[in-house]
Amino acid sequence: MDGLKFYTHGAHLIAEWRGPVIPVGTHIPHGDDGTTYEVVEIRSKGERVVAKVEPHFSPEAEAEIDRTVDLLMGFLEDDDVIEVAMVFDDKGRVIHWHEPRGAHGGAIPDSRDLWDVLWEHRDRLGGVAHTHPWKGDPWPSKTDTTTWRACEKGLGKLLLWPVVTFDQVGYWVFNEVTGEYTPVNPEYLTITLEGIDEIRRKSGYVEEGP
């Protein structure tokens, strides 16, 4: 499998390489953590082979993901506050909006959907921002930090976790030395996060007139 690479195309995960066509059902190793991708459809174009693949986890990894999805449920469906979440890439561009129950009528994505988005985009994922829809300090809750840690373990990478209030933004990252989440000075961020105004509006913030 020469030049094996993985990418997403719409909602699908794709593996592409130069070399042999392999049977549907074959597992392709991906990463060092024992994760594999299972081939569900395959096609060859000249010497290039393109396969639609799905992630396949060990039972332990599967159980860990179930726990993470449960935590995401608490993170997203806390009855006290209506939180909006925004998934962004490593350049700070918005990939996905998660809006709470009843925000726009219609079907509301659940926490499994959010996990699938994080997994699907994990290679280019920058982080997840969410709102605390009031004015004040952007401190994360205990549920927030527990969920963040579980997501980072499940994805195998550290992310940026902005907490957005109506007048402040806190940019939180995990500090591997202290084992705690600490705020980063925005001047040191390597990305420019878009969507801050919009996430506030989606959370019910109405700009005061002049």
* Closest CB to Zn ion among residues 35, 141: 141
Q: Look at strands 48-56 and 12-18 and give their pairing.
A: antiparallel
CA distance 11 to 207: 35
The three-state secondary structure class of 61 is helix
* CB count in 10 Å sphere of residue 185: 7
Shortest distance (Å) from residue 75 CB to Zn ion: 7
Q: Which is nearer to Zn ion, 15 or 84 (CB)?
A: 84
| Residue 122 token pair | 């994990």
- Specify the stretch interacting with Zn ion by CB under 5 A; choose among 85-93, 98-106, 137-145, 154-162: 137-145
CB 171 → Zn ion: shortest distance, Å?
Answer: 14
Tell me the window of 3-11, 56-64, 105-113, 134-142 that interacts with Zn ion (CB under 5 A): 134-142
Q: How far is the CB of 158 from Zn ion (least distance, A)?
A: 18
Residue with smaller CB distance to Zn ion, 13 or 129:
129
Question: Could you give the 3-state DSSP secondary structure of residue 115?
Answer: helix
144 binds Zn ion (CB under 5 A): yes
Per CB under 5 A, the segment of 28-36, 91-99, 140-148, 184-192 that binds Zn ion is 140-148
**Residue number with CB closer to Zn ion (92 or 140):** 140
Q: Please check whether residue 83 is in contact with residue 100, taking contact to mean a CB–CB distance below 8 angstroms.
A: yes
Site stretch for Zn ion (CB under 5 A), options 56-64, 109-117, 142-150, 187-195:
142-150
| Comparison of 53 and 203: residue with beta carbon closer to Zn ion | 203
Question: Considering CB under 5 A, how many residues would be counted as binding Zn ion?
Answer: 2
Half-sphere exposure of 10 (CA within 13 A, CB side): 2
Q: How far apart are CA 15 and CA 51, in angstroms?
A: 5
Q: Which two tokens mark 40? A: 């569900």
User: Using CA atoms, how far apart are residues 162 and 200, in angstroms rounded to an integer?
Assistant: 13
Closer residue to Zn ion in complex, CB, 13/132: 132
Distance of closest approach, residue 199 Cβ to Zn ion, in angstroms: 12
Strand partners, 193: none
Q: Under the rule (CB under 5 A), what is the footprint of Zn ion?
A: 141, 144
